[in-house]
Structure 1
Amino acid sequence: MSLRLIVVLAVLTGATGSPSMTIRPGADPVDMTAHPNSVPEAVEETEIHGQQEVPVEEEAEEDVMATGELKPNHYPAQRAAKVVQHYLNTRYGSPVRLFGLHNVNSGNAEDVADSGRKYQLEISVQEIISNTTEKCSAEVLFPRGEEQRSPTVQASCEELLKVNTTAQEEALFQKYKMNQSLLSAQNLPDSYGHIAPDNKPLWHLGIVASSFVMLKESTENTLYNMAQVANITQLATENEQLKFDCHILLHEMVSQEIIHWKLQFTWSPPEGVKVLQMDQLPHCHHHEQPPKAN
């Protein structure tokens, strides 16, 4: 496949706890008047909080199935490394702790019998809110078979996980829990790439929840970024979890598709983010324009 792309990788994140979800791929269509199925044309990706550009070198021939030592800035290594980012968000992210890929330092790929292809990576990961960057070792296995299965990930990032956010998380949780009215927000970021400061934790929660989808959907031939939280709404609950409905827009960089998902998830400091339901929404337009990047 011949591609001439310079990929803008979104370094976004957030979620704690182990991935937990119920997936309903055959969900009924959703009322799109409540969830606008369009991307603001003027969204500037480089203005989104916590995003930076990670260039991927142009390749005359993209060798997706490269074996042995990988070029750090080429697609095979970058795609596997982005899966590590999503994995870290689903396990350790929160509204005040988001992980993003800073760069790939080295990588190696090998076929593993009938199991699939395994990537060994040395990467730098950034905790975006504290602006802390540390080196991590990771292993990503893309399973082989006709039925698509999620990649499996092992990552060692002990130094990065020492950033203690317990007090901040508890304060935010109590604030949201004691609000007299349920929270809601739309178009994070807006058409100018802006997010109101009070809405940034909701944006971060949307990023964390989106990592569950991107981890599940990732293959050796995809490269997902978070584009926008179209809307997010807090739901009433009687237990010690905050609960949210969320409509997110994902940008698949290879196909240049904008893909819409509706998620329902919970969050609390002890349990982290847990996705209860994820439904891919139908396309209103066959081809949609992704958010513009500088």
Structure 2
Amino acid sequence: MELPPSHYPAARAAALAAGYACYRRGGPGRGLALRAVRRAGGQDIDGVGRKYHLELVLEEVRDKDSTVNCTAEVLYHLGNKNIAPDVQFTIEGELKNTDEADNIFYNRIKSLEKELVAENIPDSHGNVSPEMEPIRLLAWAASGYVIWQNSTENTKFQLAQIKHVKQVKRSDEYLEFDYRVLLHEMVSQEIIPWQMTVLWHPQHGVQVTQDSRQPKHALE
């Protein structure tokens, strides 16, 4: 069934698909965000759940003029809140190559004498310093995983801010960061603190090894 692109449930499914695509294809050199929903369709699958067929436009977080088309399918499972939605997506055309930016970031962090620690990204004026931009984009990609795992048909999450990030020393080639972030749930207007442990390597992409919703008082 064809749906208007502004249809709220379709828009929520589109935001989830964009978050998932960013988790799979993003990193410190690239963040992807939903620019527009071009087409949407929905179908109820008996005994399984509700499926959305979507045509999206994704934009690069750092370069709003850089966009790609994306087709996606999102299946929300009936009644079971503990199963993450099934998301499949195909990006049409090429994403900008980020190898150089990824390697510069990787080598910079690897060569630090003390582990990186930072907080409040962006700051209260919405600013992100150039050296923290890759840290923010990595959180953007990692939060795509959290959003995917915790979304239902009635939610729409977005990363609002990194409250705190700390690099964790490792003996292997991966970079590890411990993030405390704030997620904005657009439907309830709730701000939810979340902890996530993120591994990254230029060849292997983003992995979230551990994440947990934090109590409200963690906002303080």
- What TM-score bracket applies, with the shorter chain setting the length? over 0.9
Which residue in the other structure is 1:193 paired with? Answer: 126
Rounded Cα–Cα distance in structure 2 between residues aligned with 1:175 and 1:272 = 17
Which residue in the other structure is 2:56 paired with? Answer: 123
Q: Which has the larger radius of gyration?
A: 1
TM-score by length of 2: 0.94
Deviation at 1:87, TM superposition (A): 1.0
Rounded Cα–Cα distance in structure 2 between residues aligned with 1:185 and 1:156 = 35
Gaps of 5+ in 1: 1-67, 289-294
Instruction: Give the counterpart letter for 2:82 in structure 1.
Output: Q
Which residue in the other structure is 1:84 paired with? Answer: 17
Q: Tell me: higher relative CO, structure 1 or 2? Use CA pairs within 8 A at least 6 residues apart.
A: 1
Task: Give the secondary structure class of the aligned counterpart of 1:157.
Answer: strand
Instruction: Give the counterpart letter for 2:11 in structure 1.
Output: Q
TM-score by length of 1: 0.71
Rounded Cα–Cα distance in structure 1 between residues aligned with 2:81 and 2:159 = 25
Q: Deviations over 1:112-135 (max 9, x none)?
A: 121111111111111233431122
Listed as ranges, the matches of 1:32-43 within 5 Å are none
Q: Deviations over 1:61-111 (max 9, x none)?
A: xxxxxxx22111121111010111111111110111111111001111001
Q: Deviations over 1:255-292 (max 9, x none)?
A: 1111011111111101111111101111129xx8xxxx
Gaps of 5+ in 2: none
Pairing 1:266–2:205 present: no
Instruction: Give the counterpart letter for 2:157 in structure 1.
Output: Y
Rounded Cα–Cα distance in structure 1 between residues aligned with 2:71 and 2:30 = 20
Instruction: Give the counterpart letter for 1:184 in structure 2.
Output: V
Count of matched residue pairs: 218
Task: Give the secondary structure class of the aligned counterpart of 1:255.
Answer: coil
Structure with greater strand percent? 2
RMSD, aligned α-carbons? 1.5
Is the CA contact (8 Å cut-off) linking 1:132 and 1:160 kept in structure 2?
no
Pairing 1:184–2:114 present: no
Which residue in the other structure is 1:167 paired with? Answer: 100
Q: Indicate how the Cα distance of structure 1 residues 184 and 256 shifts in structure 2: closer, same or farther if over 3 A, else same.
A: same
Identity percentage over the alignment? 39
Task: Give the secondary structure class of the aligned counterpart of 2:216.
Answer: coil
Query: 4+ runs of 1 displaced by more than 2 Å?
Result: 127-131, 145-148
Structure with greater helix percent? 2
Is the CA contact (8 Å cut-off) linking 1:70 and 1:76 kept in structure 2?
no
Deviation at 1:145, TM superposition (A): 2.7
Which residue in the other structure is 1:9 paired with? Answer: none
Which residue in the other structure is 1:276 paired with? Answer: 209
Deviation at 1:147, TM superposition (A): 3.8
Q: Deviations over 1:146-204 (max 9, x none)?
A: 3431111111113143x211122112101110111211110011111112221111111
Rounded Cα–Cα distance in structure 1 between residues aligned with 2:159 and 2:145 = 11
Q: Indicate how the Cα distance of structure 1 residues 264 and 252 shifts in structure 2: closer, same or farther if over 3 A, else same.
A: same
